Structure 1
């Protein structure tokens, strides 16, 4: 059974109308989606299958095509070729307001003259929902995001995190088939960003709503996603669970983008690569010869001076709570990050010795981008 096909627990119901009506989500499919702006191709035949109720992140650097893909899914951009399906139906030519989706953007886009309750109920009123029913549903949505007590305030009386929660409630109140999140947390400070990130995931699980989340922040994607699609230059490099992408990156681009890696020189022979005299297993078939090797900090350790290893000099060391991440320079000038217990004392310009764990590594031809 694949991750996309795995059964999901139904949300528990309550007096909240949104939860009582929550379903199992809607399948979302991209089939060979191409998007061009004049002579520039931004999406190169994107294929993606998102299971009902799944939380999938589109992750990648700026300009990789992730926001364009989301806008095509929303109907804000028309695909040049290919098809977008919701629940098995082709919606490629269906306008945005007929696709039954909810969207949350980086900017809150709240109406300053409307209260929190008025902003939340706005979409319902536009759809012809009666005033009383709209008010009740808006109240349920605000309770869901923890803002029921602020219903009578205006946007300027709220913090940034509170305003983004209102935007989320407004997107959820219409009970859309799919929720789209376009970098909704990037304008918030770090602590609020983590809190709201976790809250979005909690709500998504309770509602069972299919969610597509666009972000350039790998920590966000790793923390909340069922699966992550890593994009580069308009293509999906790899899609998988956070664990799969981190532990078994399919390409050097994924290895470089997910997590922290040091790139060190090595030589590939057969299915191993030699780094400073140590043979390491290589993931996937690779061409023999000089290679760049991606080393995770947790797979590089500090060892005693008389142990097998490589001599290095400390360049910097960062305290990260229960561990430190220390940057060292080896004799050949290579910079390597080492993750070690915070109790292991190191000093700037101090001499240390490092050793490599014999775990599979990702490589690319030496000097390749």
Structure 2
């Protein structure tokens, strides 16, 4: 589904907060063939992306893939070397950051230590010459959104890291921006707080209906909160789709390897299928005939009875993950693969088991040189 085809979202009632009542018509964000060079080094290679009004889109990829550069170009903190950036259909490529009407939250909280939480939140409004009374009223409304209105008179050093990041989010929202930009805002937090805050960001975004672009290298974060995800690699967008699309139907080998957990097994392509350990699996995308490496998800492998069709393997390790286990096994050809199975099916190092493959479509890549020798 493209952004243009996305059905309208029914948002929760917003009449209980003054910041939410006026945010009705969200803004479309567009990248059109955007490039960015630093000297002779090209960082962005013709990036095209269309973010629908009110959509939450994540830029996902490893360090150095260009996702933060793309966000900075959108924010106006970097100028594009080529192409066009549009907000609401208007070319803003030459518009300075303070004229783009966007809110930004970064990994660093950047709160003023000498100002209270309420004063930090209202800072942008005071710079816009909003009256003190109105700025204070809107700051408290923003803090109420992020659940911190009761801490309005505290100072940053009296807050936890998660609370400081909530203040940074409130400060970005208080000006009622057309677009919200989030650059790795959760990476400095511990795991439990990170999950809580990512869910809170998504809840607030849905209530506001604000167009949001979120940069992260954490696939779990992107899968959990996004309407769609743009997976970037080496300055290019390799695939844009829903979390389900990217996980179940990766368009390229790099998307398959980056999104989710996969093991690689040797296979041979013939026509529209690939044979792995004697089992023919359908291909996700066409590939030339010949030896390949096949991406196998843990949930697409299962432990079976020794008499069932499959391949023999030896357990290398088994990890308990609450409702299920992931077990690493070595097959007769020396391949290491992870199998996801019921937590009650306990196995130990050295146990001989038999594994079988589900017949879901798989992604493949050319056999690596190391394995070809």
Q: Is this a same-fold pair by TM over 0.5?
A: yes
Deviation at 1:178, TM superposition (A): 0.2
In structure 1, distance between residues paired with 2:320 and 2:91: 51
Quote the residue 1:219 is aligned against. Answer: 220
| 1:350 Cα offset (Å) | 1.1
Cα distance in 2 for partners of 1:15, 1:61 equals 40
The aligned residue for residue 282 of structure 2 is: 281
- Contact 1:11–1:208 under 8 Å retained in 2: no
| Residue 24 of structure 1: how far off its partner (Å) | 3.3
Tell me if 1:73 matches 2:95.
Answer: no
Give me the whole-angstrom Cα distance separating, in 2, the residues matched to 1:192 and 1:97. Answer: 31
Name 1:42's counterpart in structure 2: 43
Contact kept in structure 1, 2:3 and 2:51, CA below 8 Å: no
| TM-score using structure 1 length | 0.98
SS in structure 2 of the partner of residue 29 of structure 1: strand
Matched, 1:320 2:296: no
**Which secondary structure state, in structure 1, belongs to the residue aligned with residue 250 of structure 2?**
coil
Identify the residue that residue 56 of structure 1 maps to in structure 2. 57
Q: CA RMSD in A?
A: 1.1
Aligned length, in residue pairs: 369
2:98 is matched with 97
Contact 1:11/1:22 (<8 A) preserved: no
Aligned to 2:262: 261
Q: Which residue of structure 2 aligns with residue 141 of structure 1?
A: 142
Q: Which residue of 1 aligns with 2:336?
A: 335
Give the superposition deviation at 1:4: 4.2
Whole-Å separation in 1 of the counterparts to 2:141 and 2:81: 40
**Aligned partners of 2:301 and 2:162: how far apart in 1?**
39
Task: Give CA-to-partner distance per residue, 1:312-356, whole Å, 9 cap, x none.
Answer: 111111111110011101111100000000000100111111001
Tell me, in whole angstroms, the C-alpha distance in 2 between the residues paired with 1:206 and 1:182.
21
Deviation of 1:2 (Å): 3.8
Find the residue that maps to 1:355 and give its secondary structure: strand
- 1:175-223: per-residue Cα shift (whole Å, max 9, x none)? 0000000000000000000000000000000000000000000000000
Secondary structure of residue in 1 paired with 2:19: helix
Q: Unpaired runs of 5+ in structure 2?
A: none
Higher mean alpha-carbon deviation, 11-20 vs 114-123, is at 11-20
**Structure 1 consecutive aligned stretches of length 4 or more whose deviation exceeds 6 Å:** none
- Looking at structure 2, the residues matched to 64 and 316 of structure 1 have their Cα atoms a distance apart, in angstroms, of 33
Q: Which residue of 1 aligns with 2:113?
A: 112
Q: Distance in 2 between matches of 1:44 and 1:2?
A: 21
Native 8 Å contact 2:269 2:288 kept in 1: yes
User: How far apart are residue 3 of structure 1 and its match?
Assistant: 4.6
Q: Aligned partners of 1:280 and 1:34: how far apart in 2? A: 39
Q: CA deviation at 1:12?
A: 1.4
Contact 1:318-1:324 at 8 Å conserved across structures = yes
**Matched ranges for 1:346-361 at <5 A:** 346-361=347-362
